[in-house]
C-alpha cells in the first residue's frame, strides 16, 4: 500500500487518469459535469494535506474545439468532488503541431510547478495513463511513476 507521505508531491494527468475520456476527449454528462474515473476521487481525497498537481495536454483549446474556461471548470469540478485537494494545475493548450515545451511528453508544466513550489522532483510521484505521461515523468526526473490502474490498486 502506498503512503501519501512517501512523496513530496503528486502529479496527475487529467483525462484517462482522473476523468473518463470518450473519443479522445474528457467525457461529460448531458449537464456538462465531468465523469471521474472509478476510484480516482476517493484516491485524491486520501491525499488531502499533501501537494497534488494536475498537468494535462488540452490541444482542443488550441485547435478552437474547446473553450479554455471549460478546462478550468474541469479542475473546479474535481476539487468540489474531493474537498479542494488539488494544490495547483497546468494545462498545455497548444496545438500538437507546435511542439511547445509545456506539451507532454515535454516536462515544462511539471518543472514550472516544481520551481514555484520549491519541489525536489526526485522526491515526487506522477500518475498517468499514457506513454506521454510516463515519458514526461522521466523527462522531468520525477522519482516514481505509477500507471493509474497500479496506483488505484495500491492506494
Mean pLDDT, rounded, for 119-131 = 98
* 112 falls within a domain: yes
Quickly state the pLDDT bin for 53 (edges 50, 70, 90).
Answer: very high
Alpha-carbon span 31 to 89, nearest angstrom: 24
* Structural domain includes residue 55: yes
In a domain, 118, yes or no: yes
Q: Is residue 54 part of a domain?
A: yes
Please report whether residue 1 resides in a domain. Answer: no
Give the pLDDT confidence score for residue 25 in this predicted structure. 81
84 falls within a domain: yes
- When divided into structural domains, the chain yields a total of 1
- Whole-number mean pLDDT of the chain? 93
The reply to whether 3 falls in a domain is no
Residue 129 inside a domain? The answer is: yes
Cβ atoms 60, 98 nearer than 8 A: no
Domain that holds residue 141: 11-148
How many Å apart are CA 118 and CA 13, to the nearest integer?
20
**Confidence check: pLDDT of 89 > 80:** yes
Give the pLDDT mean for 101-114: 96
Instruction: Please state the pTM of the whole predicted model.
Output: 0.94
Which ranges in the chain belong to alpha helices (H)? 40-46, 59-62, 68-82, 108-116, 131-140, 148-154
Domain holding 50: CATH number? 3.40.50.1000
- Out of 25-34, 58-67, 106-115, give the one with best mean pLDDT: 106-115
Least confident of 18-27, 40-49, 75-84, 145-154: 18-27
Question: pLDDT class for 49, splitting at 50, 70, 90?
Answer: very high
pLDDT of residue 78: 95
Q: Give me the long-range contacts of 150-155 (CB less than 8 A, separation at least 24).
A: 151/2, 151/43, 151/127, 152/39, 152/40, 152/43, 154/1, 154/2, 155/1, 155/2, 155/43, 155/46
Peptide bond into 105 cis (omega under 30): yes
State residue 30's pLDDT score: 84
Amino acid at each position: 500500500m502506498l503512503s501519501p507521505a512517501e512523496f513530496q508531491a503528486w502529479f496527475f494527468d487529467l483525462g484517462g487518469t482522473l476523468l473518463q475520456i470518450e473519443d479522445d476527449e474528457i467525457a461529460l454528462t448531458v449537464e456538462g459535469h465531468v465523469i471521474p474515473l472509478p476510484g480516482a476521487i476517493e484516491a485524491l481525497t486520501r491525499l488531502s494535506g499533501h501537494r497534488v498537481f494536475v498537468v494535462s495536454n488540452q490541444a482542443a483549446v488550441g485547435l478552437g474545439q474547446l473553450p479554455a474556461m471549460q478546462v478550468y471548470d474541469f479542475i473546479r469540478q474535481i476539487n468540489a468532488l474531493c474537498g479542494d485537494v488539488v494544490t495547483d494545475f497546468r494545462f498545455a493548450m497548444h496545438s500538437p503541431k507546435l511542439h511547445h515545451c509545456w506539451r507532454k511528453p515535454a516536462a515544462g508544466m511539471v518543472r514550472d510547478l516544481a520551481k514555484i513550489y520549491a519541489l525536489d522532483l526526485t522526491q515526487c510521484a506522477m500518475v498517468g495513463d499514457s506513454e506521454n505521461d510516463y515519458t514526461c515523468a522521466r523527462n522531468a526526473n520525477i522519482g516514481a511513476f505509477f500507471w493509474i490502474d497500479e496506483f488505484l490498486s495500491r492506494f
